[in-house]
Chain A
Amino acid sequence: MAELLTKFPRRRAVLLASLLAVGMTATACSAPGEDRSSTQKSDAAVKTELGADPITLEMYAETGFPLAKALADEFSKQHSNVKFNVREDQFTVIVENAPRVMASDNSPDIIRLPTMVDLVKDDLLKNLDPYFTAYGWDKFPASQLMQLRVGENTRGTGSLYGMGLGYSVTGVFYNKKLATQIGMTQPPATVAEFEELLAKAKTGGVQPIMQFNKNTAGINFPHQALQNQFGDPTLVADWIFQKPGATFDTPAALKATQTIQKWAQAGYFTKDANALDYAGMVGEFQKGNGLFMFNGDWESANLDKSMPGNVGFFLFPTESAGGKHVAMSAPNTFGVSAKAKNPDAAAYFLNWVHTNAKAREISVTVGGSSPGGPSDLPVPSAAPNTVLAETLKASQQLGAENGAVDFTANATGGIFAAAITPEMQKLIAGQQTPEGYVKAVQAEYQKELSR
């Protein structure tokens, strides 16, 4: 009997081992992944006609961002032979899925994109240069499409790989009733004035800043807003675009981090900021539980609905009065998959979004952001006395001052999750020094670039 007991496990072990061996030989012969070295020609002939054949465009868009679907519906209305099949996911899910979805045989034609450098490296994105020439996108302000260009391992120059469904601007929303209460009569003109308002709010028993810092670091918004003012913004842009030699370890970044630490110690952020997520932040701000909220114009339409007449917006002030504004502003990037079945129709759609009057109006009313496109086309106006009108104006002002920079969170694929978020959570809880913060972010950046 003892034999039986010992024998069976041994048999099982032999069986398992042989199954494993079979599995090994079946799968482990070659290294995983495939070589997708570039096969795209940037001077390939492209069609700028839509034709009359029925087309179904596969679109992979972002949940909670109704603009894409609204534009798709309007496009189908104007072009009855084109239907859209829209799949939606949360942005973080798209970030995680994009490479695999685009490498699959069911790759979407039009896709909301996270950072693009890796996707270009893996040859998953269509080079849009031929369409740029064919459609005459050179009539757009060059700065508009700069963030969508990818060159040899850097961003900001090189070939065009995406277009914006709206171009967002960020800044500070404020609660008008609370602002009056603490004696704020007009938006601050300098960082120092802004800090005075924070102090006034605090002593007046008003929560100065409502900012989330759970899941992802929402306090990176005010951090970069400060960093943009404290030094040359092109250094920030160089770092985001992965220019050789660029570093996060700059006096401007350090001063911004020190300021954030000071604000945290002074109680300008909520005590539970590290447990507050984005939806919670917007909810609290709408309830009137905070004076300022650092956010983008994608919330404008929503805020006009939930707190009509009681919400204002300003671009983050400059360090000294009268300076040029600098703010995070980024296209809501959409690209065309390298494996797209209808790339010409997809590009036609992207061009239409920027140039069709009705599409531009939808970009403003539904998306809340500037529609971009050629500078000679008028920007549709928003209803007066809305925060939407204010963000739209801010967007034009920023464009005129040429002060748009991308988000530091977009510098590399993993920088936000792996460094900025945990280190920012530590910083505001007093578990990290400003010097340590700047060094930790740069260390992760270098680690990722060295791979």
Chain B
Amino acid sequence: MTSALGSAPTGHDDRRARPTPARAHRFRWARAAGTGWLYVLPALVMYAVFVLRPLVLTLQYSLYDWNGIGVARWVGLDNYLTVFTDSDLLKIIGNAIVLIVFFSFIPVALGLLVASMVRRITTGAFGTVVRTILFLPQVIPLVAAGIAWSWLLSSNGLVNQALRAVGLGGVARAWLGDFDTALPAVGVIGAWVLLGLCTILLVTGMSKIDPALYEAARLDGAGPFREFLAVTLPSLRQEIGVCLTVTIIAALASFDIVYISTSGGPGLQTTVPGLEIYRLAFSQRQVGLASALAVVLMLLVLACVLPIQRLSRGEKQ
């Protein structure tokens, strides 16, 4: 067994020997590392206090029945059992999974399409304008986007006015208050917000692709579609990975848009885990169950995101 660092313990001889180059090296390394730790310390303290401690506390709370104030009662894994057996909570988790289609797949697919179209016009003033417009939804606070969209989608909003103008008044409805359309309507808002981010990431990725590859493909007689499949898509593997990761997290952990546009209604049609965790903890004062749902949500995010990370990196190594 050898080590790239040259500091592997190799048995008792080592201990008796005078400082060897390897040892001196290790000493220097340790000192350097010590200084390094010192530099990292402030950030580490913040990380420990504001990320690790809440994480550990959430795990701990999830094992108790606690109203946030009084004495907690140890219930073991009961809260987790509730999360996995309560039909309402399962429906709520299901809603988040449906939202992945709208928050992730649609923005990435549309983003690829838009990016391929605007790829050639990314330079110059026009390119800047296009990029700015595309990125705008990402800059607008989600709460503002939620309010604007709930006006657009209200029964007398712009969407219904447009439908009535073209003679489709029969389709018009309060999109966010209708049992059939509320969840897709929330999904559309999410897709609108995230499309810009995906497009910009993908356009940037495309600009890094060696033009010679396209030239070669064209010489081989590839059309635009074939070119897209053989050159663009494989080269964007990592960017697509990043897009999917960010948007899937946005879908599973969504809160702002839903809270503003529907508050989870009608019924439980648009209630998502983020909203339910908040309600359970602060309005129903079931801190334990809320924490258990939060832990399950975290595991769900990891289960979705880790394979994507692996897939998008896989080939490079």
Contact = CB atoms under 8 A, between A and B. Distances in A.
B266 A426 contact: yes
Contacts of B264: 422
Which one of B66, B69, B282, B283 has the greatest number of beta carbons of chain A within 10 Å? Answer: B69
Contacts of B285: 99, 118, 413-414
Interface string B249-280: 00000000000001111111001000000010
Nearest to B68: A99
A99 B282 CA distance: 9
Interface in A88-119: 92, 95-97, 99-100, 103, 118
B contacts with A: majority SS: loop
Given A20-B52, A413-B285, A276 B177 contact: yes
A272 B279 contact: no
A192 interface: no
A417 interface: yes
Nearest to A121: B70
A124 B177 CA distance: 38
A418 B265 CA distance: 11
A191 to B, nearest CB: 27
A33 B72 contact: yes
A270 B283 CA distance: 28
Contacts, number: 142
A274 B56 contact: no
A417 B279 CA distance: 8
B64 interface: yes
A143 interface: no
A271 B52 contact: no
B283 A417 contact: yes
B71 A27 contact: no
A3 B7 CA distance: 13
Contacts of A44: none
B154 interface: yes
Given A1-B4, A35-B71, A417-B279, A271 B173 contact: yes
Nearest to B48: A19
User: Could you say which interface size class chain A belongs to?
Assistant: 35 or more
Contacts of A19: 48, 52
Interface string B1-27: 011110000000000000000000000
User: Could you say which interface size class chain B belongs to?
Assistant: 35 or more
A96 B283 contact: yes
Contact of B177 (A4, A272, A418): A272
A3 B283 contact: no
A96 to B, nearest CB: 4
A383 interface: no
A414 B173 CA distance: 30
Interface string B282-295: 11111100000000
Contact of A3 (B3, B60, B67, B175): B3
Nearest to B185: A275
Interface in A13-68: 19-20, 23-24, 26-28, 31-36
Contacts of B286: 451
A118 B68 CA distance: 11
A346 B55 CA distance: 40
A323 B289 CA distance: 47
A423 B74 CA distance: 31
A1 B5 CA distance: 10
B283 to A, nearest CB: 5
B284 A28 contact: no
A422 B264 CA distance: 9
Interface string A253-290: 00000000000000000111111100000000000000
A146 B173 CA distance: 45
Interface string B21-51: 0000000000000000000000000001000
A217 to B, nearest CB: 9
Interface string A416-445: 011001110110010110000000000000
B268 A422 contact: yes
A414 B176 CA distance: 24
Contacts of A36: 69-70
B142 interface: no
B84 interface: no
A215 interface: yes
A95 B154 CA distance: 28
B72 A32 contact: yes
A423 B61 CA distance: 29
A341 interface: no
Which 7 A-B pairs rank lowest in CB-CB distance, beginning with the nearest?
A275-B177, A272-B174, A274-B177, A414-B284, A275-B174, A96-B282, A272-B155
16 contacts: A20-B56, A27-B56, A28-B56, A32-B64, A33-B69, A33-B72, A215-B263, A270-B155, A271-B155, A271-B174, A272-B155, A272-B173, A275-B155, A414-B283, A414-B285, A418-B284
Given A23-B53, A417-B284, 15 more contacts: A3-B2, A4-B4, A23-B48, A23-B56, A34-B71, A35-B70, A96-B283, A100-B68, A122-B67, A214-B262, A274-B174, A274-B265, A275-B175, A421-B265, A422-B268
